[in-house]
């Protein structure tokens, strides 16, 4: 089997020209891939930014399969942010069956998983960070975290985020922004920031309670100026702009979010004109496609370190002189960005998305010890074997994935509802075919601070309208009106969708329990992780239960789960999951 090296992807672009060059590296055999290949980097400039996004509290290595369907509006599908599978491999020139292909695409995932093993883990991340700090000099390195770090596993949930803050301190995070962090609630966010060595910055969170002292005032410092390698680096924080609509409002009551591009522009200008920085960086949780729009609308940003949409992007995107990078999710990658900036100007940079291959990168022993300590109080619960899965269980994909289906099956079984809705967020885990399902895996899929499964009534016409509303949040042709997630997952229902149709006209042939939806009929609906219960009536309070308990009990009852990857959604205007740009099929 041939292996390609990540370093052939190196970008050496000169500002103002924007030319990208790639050298052809000789393919290597599996046994020849080494730590040296993973570290290989052309040291450039006077400082280094290390970047992590969307760790989702994964302290230990995991399997994480990238999407096999990633469809958006026709103008976006097949562009960076909406690339997957073969289209992704072709766009970025990946060798089939290489380590990079394993990390970046779903193709041959199960075979390659056996070959290359698990991904990420803070002890392995630490080894890479320390290598870079040693190579570059620790004083010349900044480690930036784009958020979605504190939430996503059982150990995070049980410690209300504290275990993850300890891991961040161990890794040496310098700066961060947030999104799911806020689902611990405002007060807990402040407590955790108190424990965090890093600074929490955000220019787009403003007080919104007209009776409070902080009304229309910034909640966090909007930016910070750090000196590394003799350069003054201005870094502006941009937390997830749609936190208050994507997650329950009560967690951030009194805080207003939003893109706030006007003030972002003001801070860019302030950093350049008043503070004479050499380089302007935005540390962002906007999402990869939204940040491409931000680069078009806000002028004078040198680099955007993006997050939220979980894209592994081996190459940066350059838009109107702004370089945008994003480093995947779940601790699978660390982005390394070497920058040459002086006298108020960026002259050169070099970027590499470093795969955290846990079988190749040795674990730092202090990290292994820390993770063991953090897990110890919960080990008994987390390591409980609930059952086994016949087929691969994964999260992601635009409409359907097997682990989501398992959760919907569990809810339908216990709640005896007509239809169930589960959230289309992009974090979770992957369990390979034939493997045991641990309680830890269930928390990795649905360990949220608002876990209740609600069962209530909704009229058919309301369900149809809600689905259109959700579809528009996912498929709007303007990235600024998207929320960066995938479609909500449905149990008990099937539908056809024409993604490219206009708002409110995408969904047809909606069936519940195999029968065409009756718009006048009242259906029993179960839902968790969203706001749908607020739209419903006759909430059955005695049935309300945490989703992870419902799923645990179901898997234990079944012992072996067998979820097929057939899906319950027919896409009318695309014939495959990963079409290239401008195409509706993969041929």
Partner 1 sequence: MQRRDFLRGLSVAAASAVVVTPSVSFAADEKPKGSNALSYKEALAAVTGSKTPEVSKKIALKVPEIAENGAVVPVTVEVDHPMNEDDYVKSIHVFATKNGNSRCVDAHLSPANGKAMLSTRVKLGETQEVAALVELSNGTFLISSQSVKVTIGGCG
Among 216, 250, 273, 436, indicate the residue that binds partner 1 (CB under 8 A): 216
Q: Burial code of 109-119, b = ≥16 C-beta within 10 A, e = fewer?
A: beebbeebebb
* Nearest to partner 1 of 13, 259 (CB atom): 259
510 binds partner 1 (CB under 8 A): no
- Please give the Cα distance from 107 to 571 (Å, whole number): 21
The residue among 368, 374, 417 whose CA lies nearest residue 536 is 417
Residue 111 Cα distances to 18, 101, 102, 237, 331, angstroms: 38, 12, 9, 40, 21
Residue whose entry in the numeric block shows the structure tokens 């369900």: 463
227 binds partner 1 (CB under 8 A): no
- Give the nearest distance from C-beta 440 to partner 1 in angstroms: 20
Site string for partner 1, 490-509 (x = CB under 8 A): -------------x------
- Residue 22 DSSP symbol: -
Among 78, 312, 331, 423, indicate the residue that binds partner 1 (CB under 8 A): 423
- Please give the Cα distance from 153 to 156 (Å, whole number): 5
Site string for partner 1, 79-118 (x = CB under 8 A): ----------------------------------------
Backbone angles phi, psi at 450, to 5 degrees: -135, 65
- Please give the Cα distance from 396 to 189 (Å, whole number): 27
Q: CB atoms < 10 A from the CB of 245, how many?
A: 12
Among 87, 405, 483, 526, indicate the residue that binds partner 1 (CB under 8 A): 483
Applying CB under 8 A, the span of 133-141, 215-223, 229-237, 555-563 interacting with partner 1 comes to: 215-223
Applying CB under 8 A, the span of 29-37, 40-48, 127-135, 259-267 interacting with partner 1 comes to: 259-267
- Please give the Cα distance from 203 to 231 (Å, whole number): 22
Among 264, 486, 497, 526, indicate the residue that binds partner 1 (CB under 8 A): 486
**Three-state SS sequence of 226-250:** EEECCEEEEEEEECCCCHHHHCCHH
Asked if residues 513 and 492 have their Cβ atoms less than 8 Å apart, the reply is yes
Q: Is residue 378 classed as helix, strand or coil in its secondary structure?
A: helix
Among 108, 139, 221, 518, indicate the residue that binds partner 1 (CB under 8 A): 221
Q: Contacts from 40-43 at CB under 8 Å and sequence distance 24+?
A: 40/5, 40/6, 40/7, 41/7, 41/10, 41/336, 41/338, 41/350, 41/352, 42/10, 42/12, 42/338, 42/350, 43/135, 43/136, 43/338, 43/350
* Nearest to partner 1 of 8, 267 (CB atom): 267
Which residues make Cβ contacts (< 8 Å) with residue 187, sequence separation at least 6?
none
- Give the nearest distance from C-beta 267 to partner 1 in angstroms: 9
The residue among 181, 220, 186, 185 whose CA lies nearest residue 200 is 220
465 binds partner 1 (CB under 8 A): yes
* Nearest to partner 1 of 113, 189 (CB atom): 189
In the region spanning residues 294 to 313, those forming contacts with partner 1, defined by CB under 8 A, are none
Torsion of CA 86, 87, 89, 90, to 10 degrees: 110
246 binds partner 1 (CB under 8 A): yes
- Give the nearest distance from C-beta 188 to partner 1 in angstroms: 19
37 binds partner 1 (CB under 8 A): no
- Give the nearest distance from C-beta 237 to partner 1 in angstroms: 12
Residue 315 Cα distances to 284, 525, 530, angstroms: 17, 43, 34
Among 21, 31, 114, 217, indicate the residue that binds partner 1 (CB under 8 A): 217
Q: By rule CB under 8 A, what count of residues binds partner 1?
A: 45
- Give the nearest distance from C-beta 531 to partner 1 in angstroms: 4
Residue 206: both structure tokens together = 């403003």
Asked if residues 266 and 223 have their Cβ atoms less than 8 Å apart, the reply is no
- Please give the Cα distance from 358 to 119 (Å, whole number): 5
Asked if residues 152 and 447 have their Cβ atoms less than 8 Å apart, the reply is yes
- Give the nearest distance from C-beta 285 to partner 1 in angstroms: 13
Applying CB under 8 A, the span of 94-102, 119-127, 281-289, 422-430 interacting with partner 1 comes to: 422-430
Site string for partner 1, 261-300 (x = CB under 8 A): -xx-------------------------------------
- Give the nearest distance from C-beta 543 to partner 1 in angstroms: 20
Site string for partner 1, 340-359 (x = CB under 8 A): --------------------
Site string for partner 1, 141-180 (x = CB under 8 A): ---------------------------------------x
- Give the nearest distance from C-beta 329 to partner 1 in angstroms: 13
The residue among 425, 446, 411 whose CA lies nearest residue 524 is 411
Among 466, 493, 507, 512, indicate the residue that binds partner 1 (CB under 8 A): 466
- Give the nearest distance from C-beta 502 to partner 1 in angstroms: 12
Site string for partner 1, 512-541 (x = CB under 8 A): -----------------xxxx-xx------
238 binds partner 1 (CB under 8 A): no
- Residue 181 DSSP symbol: G
Among 27, 117, 258, 567, indicate the residue that binds partner 1 (CB under 8 A): 258
Asked if residues 322 and 282 have their Cβ atoms less than 8 Å apart, the reply is no
Applying CB under 8 A, the span of 82-90, 331-339, 385-393, 462-470 interacting with partner 1 comes to: 462-470
Residues that bind partner 1 in the complex, under the rule CB under 8 A: 180, 208, 216-218, 221-223, 241-242, 244-247, 249, 256-259, 262-263, 423-425, 465-466, 469-470, 472-474, 476, 480-481, 483, 485-486, 488, 503, 529-532, 534-535
């Amino acid at each position: 089997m041939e292996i390609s090296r990540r370093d052939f992807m190196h970008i050496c672009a000169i500002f103002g020209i924007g030319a990208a060059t790639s050298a052809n590296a000789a393919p290597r055999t599996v046994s020849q891939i080494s730590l040296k290949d993973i570290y290989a980097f052309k040291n450039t400039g006077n400082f280094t930014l290390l970047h992590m996004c969307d760790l989702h509290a994964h302290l230990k290595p995991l399997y994480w399969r990238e999407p096999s369907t990633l469809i958006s509006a026709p103008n976006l599908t097949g562009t960076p942010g909406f690339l997957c599978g073969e289209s992704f491999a072709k766009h970025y020139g990946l060798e089939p069956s290489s380590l990079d292909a394993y990390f970046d695409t779903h193709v041959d995932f199960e075979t390659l998983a056996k070959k290359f093993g698990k991904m990420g883990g803070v002890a392995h991340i630490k080894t890479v960070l320390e290598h870079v700090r040693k190579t570059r000099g620790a004083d010349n390195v900044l480690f930036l975290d784009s958020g979605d770090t504190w939430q996503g596993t059982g150990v995070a949930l049980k410690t209300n985020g504290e275990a993850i803050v300890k891991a961040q301190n161990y890794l040496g995070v310098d700066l961060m922004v947030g999104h799911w962090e806020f689902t611990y609630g405002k007060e807990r966010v402040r407590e955790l920031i108190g424990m965090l060595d890093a600074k929490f910055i955000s220019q787009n969170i403003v007080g919104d309670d007209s009776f409070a002292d902080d009304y229309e005032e910034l909640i966090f410092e909007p930016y910070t100026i750090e000196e590394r390698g003799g350069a003054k680096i201005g870094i502006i924080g941009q937390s997830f702009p749609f936190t208050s609509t994507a997650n329950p409002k009560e967690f951030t009551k009194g805080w207003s979010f939003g893109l706030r591009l006007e003030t972002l522009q003001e801070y860019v200008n302030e950093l350049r004109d008043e503070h004479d920085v050499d380089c302007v960086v935005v540390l962002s949780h906007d999402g990869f496609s939204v940040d491409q729009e931000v680069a078009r609308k806000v002028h004078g940003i040198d680099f955007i370190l993006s997050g939220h949409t979980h894209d592994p992007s081996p190459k940066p995107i350059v838009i109107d002189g702004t370089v945008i990078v994003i480093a995947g999710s779940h601790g699978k990658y660390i982005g390394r960005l070497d920058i040459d900036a002086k006298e108020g100007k960026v002259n050169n940079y070099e970027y590499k998305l470093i795969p955290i291959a846990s079988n190749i990168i040795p674990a730092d022993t202090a990290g292994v010890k820390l993770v063991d300590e953090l897990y110890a109080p919960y080990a008994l619960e987390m390591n409980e074997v609930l059952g086994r899965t016949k087929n691969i269980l994964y999260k992601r994909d635009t409409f359907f994935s097997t682990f989501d289906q398992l959760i919907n099956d569990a809810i339908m079984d216990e709640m005896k509802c007509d239809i169930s809705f589960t959230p289309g967020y992009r974090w979770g885990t992957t369990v390979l075919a034939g493997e045991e399902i641990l309680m830890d895996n269930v928390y990795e899929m649905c360990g949220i601070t608002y876990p209740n499964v609600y069962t209530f009534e909704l009229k058919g016409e309301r369900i149809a309208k809600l689905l259109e509303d959700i579809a528009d949040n996912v498929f709007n042709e303007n990235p600024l009106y998207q929320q960066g997630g995938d479609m909500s997952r449905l149990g008990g229902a099937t539908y056809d969708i024409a993604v490219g149709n206009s708002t409110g006209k995408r969904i047809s042939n909606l069936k519940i329990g195999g029968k065409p939806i009756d718009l006048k009929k009242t259906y029993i609906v179960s839902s968790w992780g969203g706001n749908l219960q607020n739209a419903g009536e006759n909430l059955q309070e005695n049935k309300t239960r945490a989703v992870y308990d419902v799923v645990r009990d179901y898997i234990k009852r079944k012992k072996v789960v067998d979820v097929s990857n057939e899906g319950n959604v027919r896409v009318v205007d695309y014939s495959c999951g990963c079409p290239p740009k401008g195409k509706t099929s993969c041929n």
